[in-house]
Amino acid sequence: SVLPSTVSRAELIDFEGISMVHYFTDNWENIQNFQARPEDILIATYPKAGTTWVSNTLDLLYFGKTDQERQSSLPIYLRVPFLEMAFPGMPLGVELADKLPTTPRLIKTHLPVQLVPKSFWEQNCRVVYVARNAKDTAVSFFHFDRMNMSQPDPGDWNTFLMKFMDGKMVFGPWYDHVCGYWEKKQTYSNMHYMFFEQMAKDTGREVAHLCSFLGLSTPVEERERITEAVHFDVMKQNNMTNFTGVSFLDFKISPFMRKGKVGDWKTHFTVAQNEQFDEHYRQKMKSTTLQFQTEI
Ligand code: A3P
């Protein structure tokens, strides 16, 4: 495993109006100038929306049949590089992406839509955006920040929830992120906007939708095999998808593959927090047609 002993909890900084940590801005010039290719597929998400789930699904759809060695020997963060990643002692996300030998290249980003390198739009790349309801995202992000020693300290749950509502999160406000891509989709047709809740409800159907967006004619048996392979329990056991070996993740505090559920927010939000959150949410989301399910 890689041991970047210099990775430690970073402070939030303001970066072009977005709360960030330096690990995702240190390589900014190279990120901004990243040269996308027309076949590249950008997997864009707010953190904790199911990025890893959809990344693994796409990797299996493209390379599951032809390159099984890849799935059994390369962790997901090497198969699907995280573009803005710049952790000391680890390869840069941009370098990993540049070196990917595959076509298409699958590339992950958490950048809000206005910060995505412009070559992705110029090359008319396919973009798969995954969104997850705000409440479950907040809970998942809280546990992630507890165990991820590169992230700002989350504090207690109430403190964290107030920061979430305030947009004082790495990659900025959830509200602007999900709405920003939703608006972009109105004019950029090569985007597939999908939901964690739908993946959880009927993975097979979402895999079929992905295939039609990607123009893949994956046979139904293969789609079924992939649907099994991306099940929570399977991915949790799989060291190539559960982030085992990343030294700054403390699995004693919380696993990366934590629960994988829709509606876990109910075990965290108090009645008062829920009322306050709902009221604030209505304000924030009043001018969008975007709708989320918080239970299935
Ligand atoms: P929880 O913390 O709610 O369990 P990301 O990959 O964007 O960081 O998202 C991580 C979240 O997605 C975690 O949510 C994780 O458990 C969940 N997840 C990852 N793989 C999953 C799968 N195969 N099925 C269901 N949930 C999954």
pLDDT at 278 over 60: yes
List pLDDT tens digits, range 82-124. Answer: 999 999 989 999 999 999 999 999 999 999 999 999 999 999 9
Question: Residues 23, 85: contact at Cβ < 8 Å?
Answer: yes
List pLDDT tens digits, range 147-188. Answer: 999 999 999 999 999 999 999 999 999 999 999 999 999 999
Phi, psi of 38, rounded to the nearest 5 degrees: -55, -30
pLDDT at 1 over 60: no
Phi, psi of 105, rounded to the nearest 5 degrees: -90, 130
Residues tagged active-site: 110
List pLDDT tens digits, range 7-26. Answer: 999 999 999 999 999 999 99
**Distance of CA 54 from the midpoint of ligand 1 (Å):** 10
pLDDT at 4 over 80: no
Residue keyed to tokens 């099940």: 231
Write the CA distances from 33 to 19, 38, 125, 291, integer angstroms.
Answer: 21, 15, 15, 34
- pLDDT on residue 137: 99
Give me the mean pLDDT over the 239-267 stretch.
96
| Nearest-atom index, ligand 1, CA of 140 | 2
List pLDDT tens digits, range 192-205. Answer: 999 999 999 999 99
Q: Residue whose CA is closest, atom 9 of ligand 1?
A: 48
C-alpha 208/C-alpha 61 separation (Å) is 10
**Distance of CA 160 from the midpoint of ligand 1 (Å):** 19
What is the widest separation between alpha-carbon atoms in the chain?
52
| Ligand 1 contact via 151 beta carbon (within 6 Å) | no
Enumerate residues 6+ apart whose C-beta is below 8 A from 63: 70, 71, 79, 102
- pLDDT on residue 5: 59
- Measuring CA to CA, which residue among 194, 36, 46, 209 is closest to residue 125? 36
Q: Residue whose CA is closest, atom 17 of ligand 1?
A: 260
Question: How many alpha carbons fall within 13 Å on the CB side of residue 158?
Answer: 5
| Ligand 1 contact via 23 beta carbon (within 6 Å) | no
Task: Report pTM.
Answer: 0.97
ipTM above 0.90, yes or no: yes
C-alpha 64/C-alpha 169 separation (Å) is 35
Q: Residue whose CA is closest, atom 25 of ligand 1?
A: 260
pLDDT at 3 over 60: no
C-alpha 280/C-alpha 140 separation (Å) is 20
| Nearest-atom index, ligand 1, CA of 264 | 3
Range in 68-82, 138-152, 191-205 the model is least confident about: 68-82
Give me the mean pLDDT over the 71-75 stretch.
94
What would the two tokens of residue 86 be?
């710049």
- pLDDT on residue 85: 98
Phi, psi of 141, rounded to the nearest 5 degrees: -65, -40
Give me the mean pLDDT over the 262-278 stretch.
98
Residue 193 bridge partners (DSSP): 129
List pLDDT tens digits, range 218-252. Answer: 999 999 999 999 999 999 999 999 999 898 999 99
What would the two tokens of residue 193 be?
């906007």
Residue 293 bridge partners (DSSP): none
What would the two tokens of residue 16 be?
């072009």
